Amino acid sequence: MDETIWPVMMFVTIVALALVALVLDIRALRDMRGGLPIKDERSRALNAKAGYYALYTSAYTTLALGVIFILLEDRDITLPNSELLFIVVAIMGSMHIAFRTYLNRRGRRSSA
């Protein structure tokens, strides 16, 4: 892979995560002004469940990356440890956000 793509990809991922954090902070401030608590029992349970699912999927993803690198050992595909760590952490964060969003929407549909 081209050497210039990794810094750009890292920058885009960091900016995207910062935007998600900003949106969540604005939503939390709006809820606080409206008199709603930032976290209730349901949101704590959703966070715990999403974290549980994200932990296991990221662990299996890390194992899969290890197997892929073992299988591609003969080729000249190398990644620095910092880039590999960034990929794993980005996968973990993305999976947590995805599971949290899924569980939140599924809970809203079932209670409506």
pTM value surpassing 0.85: no
Burial class (CB in 10 A: 0-12, 13-18, 19+), 69: middle
> Which amino acid, residue 52?
Y
- What is the pLDDT averaged over residues 71-96? 80
**Of 72, 74, 86, nearest to 17 (Cα)?**
86
What lies within 8 Å, CB to CB, of 112 at 6+ separation is none
Backbone angles phi, psi at 40, to 5 degrees: -120, -170
Q: Where are the domains of the chain?
A: 1-38, 39-112
pLDDT digits (tens, 9 = 90+) for 56-70: 998 898 898 888 888
**Given pLDDT bands bounded at 50, 70 and 90, which one contains residue 110?**
low
At 76 the pLDDT is 75
Predicted pLDDT at 99: 92
